[in-house]
Amino acid sequence: MSIKDVLSPFTAWKNLFRDPVSIRDPLNRAAAPRYRGFHQNDVAQCIGCGTCEDICQNGAIDMVPVEGIATKQGDSGLRPRIDYGRCCWCALCVDVCMTHSLSMSNVYTWVDGDPDAFRFTPGVDKKPWDDAALGYRRPEEHRLTGRVRAPMGEIEPAERIDSFAEIVDGYDVAEAQFEADRCVSCGLCVATCPTHMAIPQYIKAIRDGDYDLGVSLLYESNPFSGICGRVCTHKCETTCATRHEGEPIAIRWLKRHIMDQVSVDQIKRVLVKPTAPTGRKVAIVGAGPAGLTAAFDLAKQGHQVTVYEALDQPGGMTRWGIPEYRLPYDIIDQDVDIIRSVGVDIRCNARIGTDITLDQLKADHDAVLLGLGLQLGRATRIPGSEHADVRKAVDLLRLATAGEPIAGGTPREVVVIGGGNVAMDIARTLARLQQQAYGEVKVILTALEDRAHFLADPEEIKEAGEEGVIILDARGPQQVVVENGSVTGLKTWRVKAIFDEQGRFAPSYDEADAQFHPGSMVVEAIGQMTDASLLGDAMTEQLAWQRGRLQVDVGGRTSASWLWAAGDMVRGPDVVSAVADGHRVAASIHAALQEGIAK
């Protein structure tokens, strides 16, 4: 201890001559630019996926309905309401927000006498900080969920061009788990899926490696899971929350992965067993997705179901319309085998109207369901289109499945009219046949739509191009040119607009931009329609119709109490919609049979 120790403390007095460091107005002190203050939410961008609610460890976020925001595809219509009595300002909600809509302002002071005022829906309940420019925004690279989709292996174009082998490899377990891990389990996909498959749950089953659970979840809503795992139109992926972050979850490929991992026996083991027989009999015409789905449901409910199929193998359009390189036939066989295993009796080569009459079916059964599909190709009716070498895509695809040759041999040069998936299917099938027969591909596809509005899936367009199909967009077919009795090609004009001002289908053309596409065969792939001739004139007359389709109620029941119709013939072409329709109509038939009022 020294004299310094006595004097030194008095140096504290020098602060008398310093400015005070106090902040005189702390309420109006601006917080740092990335401060985590009260939330902001761009409700127009928010899709109500609820990921913020999921991650909040305090339970401070509730997804609530909001006036003026309707539930629609890809948007639950709910918005996060935040309870600031619970919020700890950790901003994990902002970090996992799929759309970047949620953020935090740098405003942190707010005084209110009402405790309930501190529970509000940001962006909906107007607050002074709604327009604050500063605050915590998730940094661009800061991500807590996976953005990039697990890549899917495919056979290279050079290898696949002359082969009908399946193109897509499917995921192995590691790839599937990687992809399944990206799912945020929001369930927007479930609402979008026509048959409302339990998508987040079966994706979780993949993560957990529980394939028994996975497959039983698939079969709860879709007995065509093997088929849908390959060729579903996967509308679910168009509403997937992760698509806002990067690529949507490969939901279709994950479904396929489950089906690839389990054996038929395993599936049969986990299936719900049919209930006791009810003694009711149901006839189903057409062994396509709608008919067989309904058969599967009704058989499990104890009804005796017989399916009549005109062709020699079941599957409907999935077998006769979809090429093998997209959907191998053994996958269809497997799905059908499982449907048979619950007691469905499928009788092939039994054409109603010819082999058995509809009246006979009606007499022998308590209910009859028509699942006829869309078997007839539509015609362009342009000059020359009545020539024998102007063929319908569906007819040629059917020949390809049956392994039968095309009359007159595989054409060396083909022009396909149409821009949908069926046009792609036939173009790619013919390309393969040409490659096998002649070692070169000469297929031109002319579509009415321009590239931006193509009806076919983008991957179909890409793969068709890779396989040598020349795709011409915005070309309107005008005339099939026939010289000396043989088709020599197709004349087209450029399309200026497909629809008129009222939105009706009325293509207008630029006649100056005419082209001639050489080809010894022209294939029309512009749509299909139902062959309902089995109904007979009297029945056709008796039933109610709407725009060329049988009129049915919500449950698929026609104006005749014993007759139901389902699938493409009433809904338009789509496998998974047909499956959904199959469930709906089965429920309607079951209810009717329960009430005993059928017939």
> Is the CB of 145 or the CB of 479 nearer to other proteins?
145
Contacting range for other proteins; rule: CB under 8 A; set: 2-10, 333-341, 391-399, 451-459? 2-10
> Is the CB of 173 or the CB of 402 nearer to other proteins?
173
> Is the CB of 31 or the CB of 64 nearer to other proteins?
31
Token couple for 67 = 């006036």
> Is the CB of 148 or the CB of 538 nearer to other proteins?
148
Specify whether the CB–CB gap between 382 and 479 falls below 8 A: yes
Q: How far is the CB of 5 from other proteins (least distance, A)?
A: 4
Specify whether the CB–CB gap between 182 and 242 falls below 8 A: yes
| Contact pattern for other proteins over residues 534 through 573, marking x by CB under 8 A | ----------------------------------------
Segment 341-344 long-range contacts (CB within 8 Å, at least 24 positions apart): 341/268, 341/271, 342/271, 342/274, 342/296, 342/299, 342/300, 343/274, 343/299, 343/304, 343/305, 344/292, 344/295, 344/296, 344/299, 344/305, 344/307
Specify whether the CB–CB gap between 155 and 463 falls below 8 A: no
Residue 232, classed as helix, strand or coil, is: coil
Interaction between residue 502 and other proteins (CB under 8 A): no
- Rg over alpha carbons for the chain, rounded to the nearest Å, is 31
| Contact pattern for other proteins over residues 44 through 63, marking x by CB under 8 A | -------x--xx-x------
Specify whether the CB–CB gap between 322 and 428 falls below 8 A: no
Q: How far is the CB of 54 from other proteins (least distance, A)?
A: 6
Q: In terms of DSSP H, where are the helices of 2-64?
A: 3-7, 51-55
> Is the CB of 206 or the CB of 416 nearer to other proteins?
206
Q: How far is the CB of 16 from other proteins (least distance, A)?
A: 12
Contacting range for other proteins; rule: CB under 8 A; set: 82-90, 225-233, 290-298, 365-373? 82-90
Neighbours of 100 (CB within 10 A): 15
**84 class by beta-carbon count within 10 Å (0-12 exposed, 13-18 middle, 19+ buried):** middle
> Is the CB of 8 or the CB of 559 nearer to other proteins?
8
Sheet holding 505-518, edge to edge: 475-483, 486-499, 505-518
Buried b (16+ CB within 10 A) or exposed e, 455-468: bbeeebbebbeebb
Interaction between residue 70 and other proteins (CB under 8 A): no
d(C-alpha 63, C-alpha 55), whole Å: 12
Interaction between residue 204 and other proteins (CB under 8 A): yes
Q: How far is the CB of 127 from other proteins (least distance, A)?
A: 19
> Is the CB of 137 or the CB of 494 nearer to other proteins?
137
Specify whether the CB–CB gap between 595 and 559 falls below 8 A: no
User: In the range 135-174, which residues lie near other proteins by CB under 8 A?
Assistant: 136, 139, 141-146
> Is the CB of 56 or the CB of 535 nearer to other proteins?
56
> Is the CB of 34 or the CB of 453 nearer to other proteins?
34
d(C-alpha 100, C-alpha 44), whole Å: 11
Interaction between residue 233 and other proteins (CB under 8 A): no
Q: How far is the CB of 373 from other proteins (least distance, A)?
A: 40
Specify whether the CB–CB gap between 426 and 396 falls below 8 A: yes
User: In the range 299-338, which residues lie near other proteins by CB under 8 A?
Assistant: none
Interaction between residue 185 and other proteins (CB under 8 A): yes
| Contact pattern for other proteins over residues 100 through 129, marking x by CB under 8 A | ----x-------------------------
Specify whether the CB–CB gap between 182 and 188 falls below 8 A: no
Interaction between residue 375 and other proteins (CB under 8 A): no
Interaction between residue 181 and other proteins (CB under 8 A): yes
Specify whether the CB–CB gap between 44 and 130 falls below 8 A: no
> Is the CB of 58 or the CB of 479 nearer to other proteins?
58
Q: How far is the CB of 348 from other proteins (least distance, A)?
A: 45
d(C-alpha 420, C-alpha 423), whole Å: 5
Interaction between residue 6 and other proteins (CB under 8 A): yes
Q: How far is the CB of 90 from other proteins (least distance, A)?
A: 3
Neighbours of 63 (CB within 10 A): 20
Interaction between residue 8 and other proteins (CB under 8 A): yes
d(C-alpha 280, C-alpha 275), whole Å: 13
Q: How many residues of this chain bind other proteins (CB under 8 A)? A: 42
Interaction between residue 213 and other proteins (CB under 8 A): no
Q: Which residues bind other proteins (CB under 8 A)?
A: 1, 4-6, 8-9, 11-12, 21, 31-36, 51, 54-55, 57, 88-92, 95-96, 104, 136, 139, 141-146, 181-185, 204, 207
